[in-house]
Amino acid sequence: MSGRRSGRPTLEEVAALAGVGRGTVSRVVNGSPRVSERAREAVARAVAALGYVPNQAARALAGSRTDAVALVIPETGARLFSEPYFLDLIRGVSAELAEAERQLLLTLVRTERERQRFEQYLATQRVDGVLLASVHDDDPLPDRIGELGLPVVMNGRRSASEPVAHVDSDNSGAGRAAVSHLVARGRGRIATISGPLDMDVARARLGGYREGLAEAGLAPDESLVAAGDFTEEGGRRAMRELLERSPGLDAVFAASDVMAAGALGVLREAGRRVPDDVALVGVDDSAVARLMDPPLTSVRQPIEEMGRMMTRMLLQQITEPSGSVAGGTPMQQPRRVLPTELIVRDSS
C-alpha cells in the first residue's frame, strides 16, 4: 500500500503541483491554445503524477458541447421572484435559448463560498457559456470564468472600461430624460434616490441626473441625493432621509420602479400628495409602475430584449470561439447599449 489518499485528485491540486492557476489547468485539459508551452508541460507532469482525470475529459477532447448555458444572478430567491427586472431578463434569456434548443441553468450566487463552488462546477465543463446579471465593481466572477476558457456575457458592466462582453441600456440617458421631464413640469427642487454606488448602473443614472440638472441650469445640491439599493425598503429609507434633509423638495427621480414604490409610501405617510406636492419618476417601466396609484411615470429600458441580445452574443461566442483576427490582434469584445424611453403617467 502506498498510503496515497483514495480521494479523486482535484483541479486545485493539479494547479498547486504545477505552480499555475486553476484556469490554466482547465485550459490545458480542454485543449485551449491560449496556454504557453511551459505551462502546458507543467500541467501535463502534474496530471500524470496525480492521476487526475477530468469528469468530462472524453467529451472535451471530442469537442462536443453540453448545450447548456448558465445564467448567474447574485441575489436571494426572495428578491429574484419579487423583482420584475430579473423576471423580464430571465424571460428574454429563456426565450432565446429555447429557440436555439439550449438548456438554461439558473444559478443564484450570493456568498464567497457559493461563488467558489460555482467556479468548481464550471471547471467540470458542464455548461458551454455563462450569462451574468447585476454585477458589482469588485465581482471577480467575470474574469474567473474567462480564465476557465468559457464564453461570458454580462448584463451591464462593472466600469466604463469593462473588458468583458456586455449588454446595457442607456442609463445616463435615463437620468437626463427624467430630470428634463420634471423641469418641464415646473419642478425646481428635484431629488434622486440612486442605486448602490458600487454598481455602474447606479452611478450612470446618478450621473445622468446631474447632467440633467446642469442642462436645465439648476445648481447641484447633495442634500437632494440619497443612496438606495434597488429594493422597496431601500427606497423607503432613502425617501425618509431626503424629507428630513430637504423638506421643500418637489420631485423625486428614483433609479428603479421598486424604489419609487417605497418612496411613494413614505410620501403618503408624510402627507405629501403625488404629483401635486411631489412629482415622482422611476426606471424600468415594469408592472410595478403600471399598478401603482397613481400610475408611475418611468423610463422604459428594454429588459427582455437585453436578455435576448445577451444570449445571442453568448451563443455566437460559443459557436465561433475565435479570440483573435487573422493578424493575431485580440478581438474587441462586443458591447451593446440599448436606448431608453420615458413613459409619462399620472405620478408626474
Beta pairing class for 225-227 and 129-133: unpaired
- SS3 state of residue 168: strand
Question: What is the pLDDT at residue 124?
Answer: 80
The listed CATH number (3.40.605.10, 3.40.50.2300, 3.40.50.300, 3.30.1360.120) that belongs to domain 171-300? 3.40.50.2300
Contact 85, 195 (CB under 8 A): no
The listed CATH number (3.20.20.70, 3.40.50.2300, 3.40.30.10, 2.40.50.100) that belongs to domain 68-169+304-322+333-339? 3.40.50.2300
Question: What is the pLDDT at residue 8?
Answer: 67
Question: What is the pLDDT at residue 336?
Answer: 94
C-alpha cell belonging to residue 219: 445648481
Contact 294, 265 (CB under 8 A): no
Question: What is the pLDDT at residue 328?
Answer: 35
Question: What is the pLDDT at residue 7?
Answer: 60
Q: What is the DSSP letter of 224?
A: G
Question: What is the pLDDT at residue 9?
Answer: 77
Do the two domains 11-62 and 68-169+304-322+333-339 of this chain adopt the same fold? Answer: no
C-alpha cell belonging to residue 292: 401603482
Question: What is the pLDDT at residue 324?
Answer: 37
Q: Per residue of the chain (348 residues), give pLDDT as tens.
A: 344 444 667 778 888 999 988 778 877 776 666 678 888 888 888 888 887 766 544 344 434 567 899 999 987 777 777 788 999 999 999 999 999 889 999 999 888 888 888 988 888 878 999 999 988 888 889 988 888 889 999 999 999 889 899 999 999 999 999 999 999 999 999 999 999 999 999 999 999 999 999 999 999 999 999 999 999 999 999 999 999 999 999 999 999 999 999 999 999 999 999 999 999 999 999 999 999 999 999 999 999 999 999 999 999 988 876 543 333 334 567 899 999 999 999 999
Phi-psi region of 47 (alpha: psi -120 to 50; beta: other; left: phi over 0): alpha
Query: Is 31 exposed, middle or buried, given 0-12, 13-18 or 19+ CB atoms closer than 10 A?
Result: exposed
Q: What is the topology classification, in CATH, of domain 11-62?
A: 434 Repressor (Amino-terminal Domain) (1.10.260)
